[in-house]
């Protein structure tokens, strides 16, 4: 038994995992409400089967043998695949089949409860199942083992190597630098953006969103877009990648930037090597790197002036009654209006990180047992008052707004901020290496940027760690200064702020 046998086994595990993903995608898009109970059962059954294959003793033996002998006989990519799979195998062995089934079933039930609670604006409908989920995640942290803080075990699932100690330092930079800069912006006159909230019929928005995805070179022969209550991207292979968007007829911002954001995720998935299906070398490195791709497209590209020089006229013609008298400059300033808000996915790109601070703070305390689920609405609202200076009016605009906890995704949220910081650093490097990048964007030619991302990031799968990849692409580890430099240059100009040394 050798590398080929390992590859065949990993392919089978991937087949089942992607079948679970397909059922989950359907659950969030088209599944009728009455199908919820059996869907939870179906996903739990498949999750148990996948776990059984992933923890099979024969697979463990193959991985151990390959890891010992491979240092001499295997090429570097294969050696890294084996090492990463052995690490995952060792983690999976710590779970019992019963625990996996319970976690999976609770996640499906939790999602249905969250959906109902959000619709009815009643946290009490969600709280009991969320409390069960939090207890399961605490158990999971103990099963996996950790140093210093139980939250580290959960962070590592989404951003391998991330720790509370390291993130506390990074978010300290956010507090000390970004908070100060946002206060400067708050003292300046705000751009007018009322025209963003007029009536924008759904169908025209939908069609424009599809145009934006096509311009990004999202491959519709290997993907599709649908509507969901919360925008997301999922993949069943690099040749079948699904994105969803959210359309609000009284908020033009929601559809446009959720399309571009999820399109960035989708492009990363479509750029992974199909020859490595089921193997680490065919998977995204981490959620921080994944988020860097969506945030780069959404903010560094999708909220820049050259991008809208290419696209604004078409949007204006779709809605002449709303935008006919709005200039490109006014539209650009409006899309980049900085103002505290309740909803994370509709936040501007600067105060967005205060939303992540709230969630990071809440999750650490929940997993450490310092706050209880029943206390969440009050605690959440107090943190929003502290970080964003606003009073949360209702649970659907507060603690119920995100889908992630219903999935059991604790440790996920910090990757959103990490992604933005990686994105600024990657885009800075792309701007150095792609001649006339902003001119190309102004012409609507986004292919050179996509090709750069394919070559520098997408094609490598998990060959590198996130830190190794960042160093490989930019010449240094993640550095918050690139985000602050980007923010000060862009928003300093929009708000006519006095130039400060970054």
Rounded distance between C-alpha atoms, residue 460 and residue 286, angstroms: 12
> Which segments within 276-338 are labelled E, that is strand?
none
Write down the residue that tokens 């720790």 correspond to. Answer: 163
DSSP 354-377: HHHHHHHHHHHHHHHTSS-GGGHH
Rounded distance between C-alpha atoms, residue 86 and residue 162, angstroms: 19
| pLDDT (0 to 100) of residue 500 | 54
| pLDDT (0 to 100) of residue 499 | 65
| CA distance readout (Å), 287 to 156, 173, 386 | 10, 21, 28
pLDDT tens for the 502 residues of the chain, in order: 789 999 999 999 999 999 999 999 998 888 998 998 899 899 989 988 998 999 999 999 999 999 988 667 889 999 999 999 999 999 988 988 889 889 988 998 999 999 999 999 999 999 999 999 999 999 999 999 999 999 999 999 999 989 999 999 999 999 889 988 999 999 999 999 999 999 999 999 999 999 999 999 999 999 999 998 888 999 999 999 999 999 999 999 999 999 999 999 999 999 999 999 999 999 999 999 999 999 999 999 999 999 999 999 999 999 999 999 999 999 999 999 999 999 898 889 999 999 999 999 999 999 999 999 999 999 999 999 988 989 999 999 999 999 999 999 999 999 999 999 999 999 999 999 999 999 999 999 999 999 999 999 999 999 999 999 999 999 999 999 999 999 999 999 999 997 654 4
Specify whether the CB–CB gap between 201 and 249 falls below 8 A. Answer: yes
Q: What's the distance, CA 66 to chain centroid? A: 33
Specify whether the CB–CB gap between 256 and 297 falls below 8 A. Answer: no
- Phi, psi torsion values for 400, nearest 5 degrees: -95, 0
Rounded distance between C-alpha atoms, residue 258 and residue 265, angstroms: 11
**Token couple for 192:** 């007018």
The catalytically annotated residue of 109, 262, 269, 283 is: 262
Rounded distance between C-alpha atoms, residue 396 and residue 385, angstroms: 16
| CA distance readout (Å), 157 to 160, 412, 479 | 6, 8, 22
Rounded distance between C-alpha atoms, residue 368 and residue 362, angstroms: 10
> Which neighbouring-strand residues pair with 235?
241
Rounded distance between C-alpha atoms, residue 432 and residue 142, angstroms: 45
Rounded distance between C-alpha atoms, residue 136 and residue 113, angstroms: 17
Per cent of the chain over pLDDT 70 is 99
Kindly give the interhelix angle for 151-158 and 127-144, rounded to the nearest 10 degrees: 90
Q: What's the distance, CA 383 to chain centroid? A: 22
Residue 145 burial class via C-beta count within 10 angstroms: exposed 0-12, middle 13-18, buried 19 and up:
exposed
Specify whether the CB–CB gap between 396 and 385 falls below 8 A. Answer: no
Q: Which of 141, 142, 176, 147 is nearest to 163 (CA)?
A: 147
Residue 444, C-beta contacts closer than 8 angstroms, at least 6 positions apart:
215, 310, 311
Pairing label, strands 240-245, 233-237: antiparallel
Terminal Cα distance for the chain, rounded? 56
Check if 262 is active-site. Answer: yes
Give all domains of the chain, ordered by start, each with its CATH number. Answer: 3-125 (no CATH), 164-494 (1.10.1370.30)
Write down the residue that tokens 């219903």 correspond to. Answer: 406
Q: Considering Cα of 405, then 406, then 409, then 415, what sign does the dihedral take?
A: negative
3-state secondary structure of 236: strand
Specify whether the CB–CB gap between 113 and 125 falls below 8 A. Answer: yes
| CA distance readout (Å), 207 to 203, 210, 315, 354 | 6, 5, 11, 32
| pLDDT (0 to 100) of residue 70 | 64
| CA distance readout (Å), 450 to 5, 459, 464, 477 | 35, 12, 20, 22
pLDDT in tens, 102-143: 998 899 899 999 999 999 999 999 999 999 999 999 999 999
| pLDDT (0 to 100) of residue 73 | 83
Specify whether the CB–CB gap between 132 and 106 falls below 8 A. Answer: yes
| pLDDT (0 to 100) of residue 101 | 86
| Cβ density class 299-330: b for 16+ within 10 Å, e for less | bbbbbbbbbbbbbbeebbebbeebbeebeeee
């Amino acid at each position: 038994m050798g590398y080929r046998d390992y590859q065949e086994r990993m392919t089978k595990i991937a087949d089942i995992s992607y079948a679970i993903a397909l059922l989950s995608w359907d659950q969030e898009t088209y599944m009728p409400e009455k199908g919820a109970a059996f869907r939870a059962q179906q996903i739990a059954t498949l999750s148990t089967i996948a776990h059984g294959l992933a923890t099979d003793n024969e697979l463990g033996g193959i991985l151990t043998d390959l890891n010992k002998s491979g240092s001499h006989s295997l090429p570097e990519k294969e050696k890294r695949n084996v090492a990463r799979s052995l690490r995952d195998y060792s983690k999976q062995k710590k779970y019992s089949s019963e625990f996996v089934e319970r976690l999976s079933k609770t996640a499906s039930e939790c999602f249905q409860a969250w959906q109902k609670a959000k619709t009815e604006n009643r946290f009490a409908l969600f709280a009991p199942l969320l409390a069960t989920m939090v207890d399961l995640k605490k158990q999971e942290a103990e099963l996996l083992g950790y140093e210093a803080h139980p939250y580290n075990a959960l962070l590592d699932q989404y951003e391998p190597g991330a720790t509370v100690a390291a993130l506390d330092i990074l978010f300290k930079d956010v507090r000390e630098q970004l908070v100060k800069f946002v206060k400067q912006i708050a003292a300046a006159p705000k751009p007018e953006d009322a025209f963003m909230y007029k009536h924008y019929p759904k169908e025209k928005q939908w069609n424009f969103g599809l145009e934006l995805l096509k311009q990004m070179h999202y491959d519709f022969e290997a993907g599709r877009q649908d509507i969901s209550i919360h925008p997301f991207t999922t993949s069943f292979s690099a040749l079948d990648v699904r994105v969803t968007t959210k359309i609000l007829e009284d908020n033009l911002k929601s559809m446009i930037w959720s399309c571009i954001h999820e399109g960035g995720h989708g492009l990363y998935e479509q750029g992974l090597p199909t020859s490595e299906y089921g193997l680490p070398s065919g998977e995204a490195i981490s959620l921080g790197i994944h988020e860097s791709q969506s945030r780069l497209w959404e903010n560094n590209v999708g909220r820049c002036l050259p991008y809208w020089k290419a696209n604004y006229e078409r949007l204006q013609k779709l809605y002449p009654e709303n935008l006919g008298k709005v200039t490109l400059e006014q539209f650009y300033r409006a899309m980049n209006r900085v103002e505290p808000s309740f909803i994370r996915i509709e936040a501007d790109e600067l105060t967005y990180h205060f939303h992540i601070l709230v969630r990071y703070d809440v999750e650490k305390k929940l997993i450490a047992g310092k706050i209880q689920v029943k206390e969440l609405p009050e605690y959440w609202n107090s943190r929003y008052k502290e970080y964003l200076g606003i009073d949360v009016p209702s649970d659907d605009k507060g603690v119920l707004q995100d889908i992630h906890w219903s999935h059991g995704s604790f440790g996920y949220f910090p990757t959103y901020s990490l992604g933005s910081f990686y994105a600024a650093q990657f885009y800075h490097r792309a701007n150095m290496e792609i001649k006339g990048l902003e001119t190309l964007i102004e012409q609507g030619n986004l292919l050179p940027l996509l090709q750069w991302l394919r070559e520098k990031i997408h094609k490598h799968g998990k060959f590198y760690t996130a830190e190794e990849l960042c160093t490989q692409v930019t010449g240094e580890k993640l550095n918050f200064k690139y985000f602050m430099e980007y923010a000060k240059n862009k928003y300093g100009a929009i708000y006519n702020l006095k130039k400060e040394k970054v």
